[in-house]
Chain A
Amino acid sequence: MSKNDKPISDFKNSFEEIESALESTNFRSRAWGSLKADKVAFASVAVVIFLILVAIFAPFFAPKDPLFQYIDGLSDVGAPQGLGRHFLLGADQSGRDVLSRLIYGARVSLTVGIVATALASFIGVMIGAVSGYLGGWVESFLMRLTDIVLAFPILLFCIALIAVTGPSTKNVVLVIAFAYWTYLARIIRSQVLSLKEREFVIAARSLGLTTPQIIRRHIIPHLIPTIIVYSTLGVATSILIEASLSFLGIGVPLPQASWGEMISEGQKYFQTAPWLLVAPGVTMIIAVLAFNLMGDWLTDLFDTSAMGVKR
């Protein structure tokens, strides 16, 4: 157009080039690349996948029936057998196999952790995003509601709810979800409040995008790192809350095994049979740690600052 405005470089109109470039930045290859580079992340993802597989295929992994009380699980004086060939992680006070109970317990604990958190995240993100983006009386109403739920101490709140609904796995999941969504809703709302003032959101509005389109395309994707961090933390917290409820005897009903129930029972025999406490305790620590570390890795992966940077 003018002699002054030289093009920065020669125009290349081949869209093949663009498409191949788009492929190279696709998500899966980036995720795999960063996993290979980061040993801690790799280990945490491996542990999480392993735990989930173990929970799903518990009957294949478990060497014995978790509920059967084996006669040889107890010594002559009635004390539980220690670690050995028959019972790899020992037997418990009723003669049941600890390893098998741990494996079946993973089913309960992970289900409670993951389902409760997914439910809580969904409620929290929706309420947070909608109230943050729309503002006005919608925001006031939803946030006061959040405050009311938030005002109760989470464990006490769960105990009270369980007392009303009665202990069952389903109720434990619902109760934890109902107590936990508030944290995410508050955080998401404050993020949305600042996001909706960002110029690219205003630009999208002036381009004529609808509100649901803007929330889906320009708001939610930016919340993903936050959602993932709080969800992975949430899985860990939910496992702990479930354990606490079981510990208090109002969690998953007996004789079903869960890690919390095992710890609760195990601590009674700590001096004579420490493996009853140590085995579920260590398993839980590993599981909670793995979820947290995986959360860290996912945050890095979704981080916008790392986006599009070729290494």
Chain B
Amino acid sequence: MTMNQIPLVEVTDLKVYFKGSAGILKSRDIKAVDGVSFTISKGETLGIAGESGSGKSTLARSLIGINKPTSGSIAINGTQISSFKNSALRPIRKKLQMVFQDPYDSLDPRFTIFESISEGLQIRNLAKSEIKDEIANLLQTVKLPVSLASRYPKELSGGQRQRVAIARALATKPDLIICDEAVAALDVSVRAQILNLLQDIQQESGISYLFISHDLSTLRYISKNVAIMYAGKIVEIGSSDNVLTHPQHPYTKALISAVPNISGKRGTKIKSVGEPPDPANLPGGCAFNVRCHDVLPQCSIETPKLLLNLNDSKVACHATANNRNSDSSKGGELHV
């Protein structure tokens, strides 16, 4: 893929603010997503990691049009979708689909599997006989027996339901599927099945994923690039090998050291104190400064910009920026 080709998805300076609870004198906006930019190319996976309140789910919902962006732009194949009216958006919106966390809630319990999946097909105006064939194809794509089509979600296991949800998303022939914690609610042994299935589908159809997860190990496995979100902003973004093996931002470092690892004891331990901030009441400057070990005086005043780092990842941190300026050989790498 050449550099000047238009990326599949281009999100530029996206902001999603909510009206906060009105105080006596003023109401404070909740900045759920605050100036996020990224691109996803065809056939690629971008992973987004962050803790609760980091804005990763709001970001996903604003991409599929559930939450209206306050400002910024979302472009699919070069076409702006954030400026369209709802009805004009419909044909473009189906290019973006979503697979949700809770397979017990994402399928209408009153619909059979056949009916659920055919909802995704209805927008394609197929004939009745074509619908049946297409549903059989989709069920085979997600490796489910076609005989399940007449069942209700209640009769299926969690993994099977998640496969149905994937089939329903695929029914619209989307370019991008947003997986919002799509494997978090599944049993460990079933999780790997779904991850492999998603990869198989990607290899065959060249679909792109935006994979949202709090689990860095899963992101490492599934995604080529990864973005770390904190308090509505991306604090570090780059290839997952760079970001997860050589993290630059103190928050990324803390996050990685907090991940329990099956292959042995935790490595260098960087304990992060405190808790993720309340999105309605963020600290000034860099939102991480109250929990950070590397904090500088300017951190509580000035919000750091997302700057290109040495190893092609972008980091929003005053301390790493200073380190790089003063001593380019020392990147503050974390070897675990």
A and B touch in the complex (CB under 8 A): yes
Q: Which A residues are within 8 Å of any B CB, using their own CB?
A: 1-2, 4-5, 7-15, 17-19, 21-22, 25, 198-200, 202-210, 217-218, 221-222, 304-305, 307-309
Q: Are A199 and B106 in contact (CB under 8 A)?
A: yes
Determine the distance from Cα of A19 to Cα of B91 in the docked complex, in whole angstroms.
31
B134 to chain A, nearest CB (A): 12
15 pairs from A and B in contact (CB 8 Å cutoff): A5-B197, A12-B146, A15-B136, A15-B146, A18-B147, A18-B149, A21-B150, A25-B112, A202-B61, A203-B106, A203-B168, A206-B66, A207-B97, A222-B110, A307-B152
CB-contacts of B25-74 with A (<8 A): 61, 64-66
Report how far A17 CA is from B140 CA in the complex, Å.
16
Q: Determine if B196 and A2 form an interchain contact, defined as CB atoms under 8 angstroms apart.
A: yes
Cβ proximity bits B129-163 to A, threshold 8 Å, 1 near / 0 not: 00010001000100111110111101100001000
7 closest A-B pairs (Cβ-Cβ)?
A308-B152, A21-B150, A199-B106, A206-B64, A199-B100, A200-B108, A199-B105
Chain B 80-113 interface residues, beta-carbon cutoff 8 Å to A: 87, 90-91, 93-94, 96-98, 100-102, 105-110, 112
Interface centre among A5, A198, A203, A221, by most chain B C-beta atoms within 10 angstroms, is A203
Q: Is B146 touching A13 in the complex (CB atoms < 8 A)?
A: yes
Q: Write out the residue numbers on chain B whose beta carbons fall within 8 Å of the beta carbon of A22.
A: 112, 114, 150
Note all chain A residues with C-beta closer than 8 A to B93: 206, 208
Given contact pairs A10-B145, A206-B97, a sample of 18 additional A-B residue pairs in the complex whose CB atoms are under 8 Å apart: A1-B200, A4-B196, A8-B144, A18-B146, A21-B151, A22-B114, A202-B61, A202-B64, A202-B98, A202-B100, A208-B123, A217-B119, A218-B108, A221-B110, A304-B154, A307-B110, A308-B151, A308-B155
Which A residues lie within 8 Å of B193 (CB)?
5
Q: Is B120 an interface residue (CB 8 A)?
A: yes
Q: How far is the CB of B237 from chain A (nearest CB, A)?
A: 25
Q: A7-B143, A7-B145, A199-B105 are in contact. Are A209 and B132 (CB under 8 A)?
A: no
Alpha-carbon distance between A15 and B147 when the two chains are bound, in angstroms = 8
Q: Which residue of B lies closest to A1 (CB)?
A: B200
Distance of A194 from chain B, by nearest CB (Å): 11
- Asked if A25 contacts B110 (CB within 8 A), the reply is no
How far is B87's CA from A208's CA once the two chains are assembled, in angstroms?
A: 9
Contact of B154 among A9, A202, A307 (CB under 8 A): A307
What are the residues of chain B within 8 A of A12 when measuring CB–CB? 145-147
Report the separation of the CA atoms of residues A149 and B91 in the bound assembly, to the nearest whole angstrom. Answer: 43
Return the contact of B168 from the options A4, A207, A208 (Cβ within 8 A): A207
B216 close to chain A: CB less than 8 A: no
What's the nearest-Cβ distance from chain A to residue B176, in Å? 11
Contacts A199-B105, A199-B106, A308-B154 hold; do A207 and B100 have CB atoms under 8 A apart? Answer: no
Binding site for A on B (CB under 8 A): 61, 64-66, 87, 90-91, 93-94, 96-98, 100-102, 105-110, 112, 114, 119-120, 122-123, 132, 136, 140, 143-147, 149-152, 154-155, 160, 165, 168, 171-172, 193, 196-197, 200, 204
Residues in B whose Cβ lies below 8 Å from that of A202: 61, 64, 66, 98, 100
Inter-chain residue pair count (beta carbon < 8 A): 120
Distance (whole angstroms) from the CB of B164 to the closest CB of chain A: 11
Residues of B within 8 A of A11 (CB): 140, 145-146
Q: Across the interface, do A205 and B106 meet the contact criterion of CB distance under 8 Å?
A: no
Least Cβ distance of A138 to chain B in Å? Answer: 16
Q: Given contacts A202-B100, A203-B98, A207-B123, is CB(A25)–CB(B154) below 8 Å?
A: no
Decide: B98 and A206 in contact? CB cutoff 8 A: yes
- Are A208 and B107 in touch, CB under 8 angstroms? no
Residues of B within 8 A of A19 (CB): 150
Closest to B132 in A: A15
Instruction: Closest B residue to A309 by CB, please name it.
Output: B154
Q: A308 CA to B105 CA in the complex, in Å?
A: 16
Q: Which residue of A lies closest to B95 (CB)?
A: A208
What are the residues of chain A within 8 A of B197 when measuring CB–CB? 5
Q: Which A residue sits closest to B110, measured CB to CB?
A: A221
Q: A18 vs B102: C-alpha distance in the bound complex, in angstroms? A: 26
Chain A residues with Cβ under 8 A from B171's Cβ? Answer: 207
Bound-complex Cα distance A5 to B144 (A): 11
For A21, the closest partner residue in chain B by CB is: B150
In the complex, what distance in Å separates the CA atom of A17 from the CA atom of B114? 13
In the complex, the answer to whether B65 meets A205 with C-beta atoms within 8 Å is: yes
In the bound complex, how far is the Cα of B90 from the Cα of A61, in angstroms?
59
